[in-house]
């Protein structure tokens, strides 16, 4: 009976999730064709009367060639961020994304509002792939989406540039590292097949000998490394979904949509149970952490009271009261964050303050 109830509950949850749009996070090396890919998918879905909800997360792009619903550039001025905090281009993108991530709950609300009439939400990301995949804000954005919507990572790869086995291997290693970091359903889109067909890449993934043959004439260090890595990546290739696509012509669109459907099933069957398990562990760890911190706070509080209750300090000074109140506030604020968030929050705040100070002293010396 209990099992039957559980199954019903799970089914309800699953149906609930299906009502939500699938979130596609589009990643790829600079110039691989992410923006053109988003443009092509958007226009095809529009012509099928199924328009997607499109979000641009690249604060540094000059223009967005597709109808965009949310644009990071409307919230954060990338050039101003660079100027205000004395940052270079990459630092500017990371900080803009960090600032945008603090408002991401609003994006979620807007996507949720569209649930009834949108099947797909597409997130275009910055060209400097590592800025998104290895930054705190990228992780926050991805994990928040994955916790609430069926989420799929779409890795766009340039088939024309990858004809060199060494470049192909670099691309695959990057894809592999993202897959293992995010652990979300993953589709490799082998883009630009209107110029070079992706058959060679599929063969290299299926057959190690074919890849070795392609490397045959090359005895450089990179080639030897690629040879060894190809054997290691064998497991990764086995479960990898790869589709050929042309962002220029739209060839491969239906295969891509079929891959998205399969990825949603994978999200339901593999990702969600694992996510629930990890969430439970996290809740337990947080509860432990909370009780440890409450104990520490109570100890400190008692110590503080003991000191101010001494005859010489019987009257609690105004300053002491403020000190205690501030401590209590800080404690409860940090209490809501876990250890990692707390550290990230602290270092991000001190980083911004430092940058501001630097900038202020620069402008002071310029004006004097
Ligand atoms: N022939 C052909 N060219 C393509 C295709 N997709 C993209 N391109 C071209 O590749 C170049 C880069 O495309 P973008 O869409 O700007 O690539 P991106 O990954 O968004 O670039 P960044 O924003 O710099 O990371 C452009 O000149 C596109 O026209 C394709 O499928 N076929």
pLDDT tens digit string along 89-136? 889 999 999 999 998 999 999 999 988 889 999 999 998 888 888 888
Q: Please give the pLDDT value at position 17.
A: 47
DSSP 37-93: HHHHHHHHHHHTT-PPEEEE--TT-S---S--SEEHHHH--HHHHHHHTT--HHHHH
pLDDT at 273 > cutoff 90: no
Share of the chain above pLDDT 70, in %: 81
273-276 long-range Cβ contacts below 8 angstroms, 24+ apart: 274/183, 275/146, 275/147
The residue contributing the CA closest to ligand 1 atom 7 is 33
Contact at 8 Å (CB) between 210 and 203? yes
Angle (deg, nearest 10), helices 136-148 and 272-308: 120
Whole-number Å distance between alpha carbons of 263 and 184: 9
pLDDT tens digit string along 218-250? 767 777 777 777 777 887 888 889 999 999 999
Residue recorded with tokens 């079929």: 258
Q: What is the DSSP letter of 315?
A: S
Which sign, positive or negative, has the C-alpha torsion 58, 59, 61, 65? positive
Contact at 8 Å (CB) between 152 and 267? yes
Which sign, positive or negative, has the C-alpha torsion 53, 191, 134, 181? positive
- Most informative mutation of 193, 195, 197, 247 for ligand 1 (most atoms within 8 A of CB): 247
- CA angle 210-216-220, nearest 5°? 130
For residue 201, the CA-to-ligand 1 centroid distance in Å is: 19
Whole-number Å distance between alpha carbons of 138 and 133: 6
Atom of ligand 1 at shortest range from CA of 58: 23
pLDDT band at 326 (very low <50, low <70, confident <90, very high): low
Q: Please give the pLDDT value at position 343.
A: 62
Q: What is the DSSP letter of 267?
A: I
310: phi then psi, degrees, rounded to nearest 5:
-60, 145
Atom of ligand 1 at shortest range from CA of 245: 31
pLDDT band at 323 (very low <50, low <70, confident <90, very high): low
CATH homologous superfamily of 15-278 equals P-loop containing nucleotide triphosphate hydrolases (3.40.50.300)
Whole-number Å distance between alpha carbons of 122 and 144: 15
pLDDT tens digit string along 173-191? 889 889 888 889 999 999 9
pLDDT tens digit string along 299-316? 877 776 666 555 555 445
pLDDT tens digit string along 2-23? 333 334 454 445 445 457 899 9
Contact at 8 Å (CB) between 137 and 94? yes
Q: Which residues line ligand 1 (CB under 6 A)?
A: 28, 30-36, 127, 191-192, 194-195, 246-248
Atom of ligand 1 at shortest range from CA of 246: 31
For residue 158, the CA-to-ligand 1 centroid distance in Å is: 9
**Which two structure tokens, joined as six digits, stand for 224?**
């030897």
For residue 81, the CA-to-ligand 1 centroid distance in Å is: 27
Highest mean pLDDT out of 15-19, 99-103, 204-208, 356-360: 99-103
Report which secondary-structure segment, H or E, holds 153: strand 151-158
Distances (CA, A) of 321 to 33, 297, 316: 59, 16, 7
pLDDT tens digit string along 143-152? 999 999 999 9
């Amino acid at each position: 009976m209990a099992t039957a109830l559980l199954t019903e509950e799970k089914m309800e949850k699953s149906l609930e999730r299906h009502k939500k749009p699938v979130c596609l996070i589009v990643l790829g090396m600079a110039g691989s064709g992410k923006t053109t890919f988003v443009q092509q998918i958007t226009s095809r879905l529009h012509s099928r009367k199924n328009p997607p909800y499109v979000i641009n997360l690249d604060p540094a792009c000059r223009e967005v060639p597709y109808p965009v619903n949310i644009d990071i550039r409307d919230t954060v001025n990338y050039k101003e961020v660079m100027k205000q905090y004395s940052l270079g281009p990459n630092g500017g993108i990371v900080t803009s994304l960090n600032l945008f991530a603090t408002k991401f709950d609003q994006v979620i609300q807007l996507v949720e509002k569209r649930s009834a009439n949108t099947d797909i939400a597409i997130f275009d990301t910055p060209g400097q792939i590592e800025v998104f995949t290895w930054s705190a804000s990228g992780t926050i954005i991805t994990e928040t989406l994955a916790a609430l919507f069926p989420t799929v990572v779409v890795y766009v790869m340039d088939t024309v540039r990858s004809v060199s086995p060494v470049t192909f291997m670099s691309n695959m290693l990057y894809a592999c590292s993202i897959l293992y970091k995010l652990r979300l359903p993953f589709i490799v889109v082998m883009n630009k097949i209107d110029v070079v067909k992706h058959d060679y890449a599929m063969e290299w993934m299926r057959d190690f000998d074919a890849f070795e043959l392609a490397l045959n004439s090359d005895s450089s260090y990179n080639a030897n490394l690629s040879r060894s890595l190809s054997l290691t990546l064998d497991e990764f290739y086995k479960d990898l979904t790869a589709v050929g696509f042309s962002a220029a012509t739209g060839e491969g669109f239906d295969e891509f949509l079929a891959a998205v459907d399969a990825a949603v099933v994978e999200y339901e069957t593999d990702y969600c149970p694992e996510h629930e398990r990890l969430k439970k562990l996290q809740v337990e760890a947080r509860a432990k952490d909370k009780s440890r911190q409450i104990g520490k706070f109570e100890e400190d509080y008692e110590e503080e009271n003991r000191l101010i209750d001494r005859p010489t300090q019987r009257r609690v000074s105004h300053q002491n009261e403020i000190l205690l109140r501030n401590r209590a506030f800080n404690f409860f604020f940090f209490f809501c964050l876990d250890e990692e968030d707390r550290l990230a929050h602290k270092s991000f705040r001190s980083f911004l303050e430092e940058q501001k100070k630097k900038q202020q002293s620069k402008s002071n010396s310029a004006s004097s």
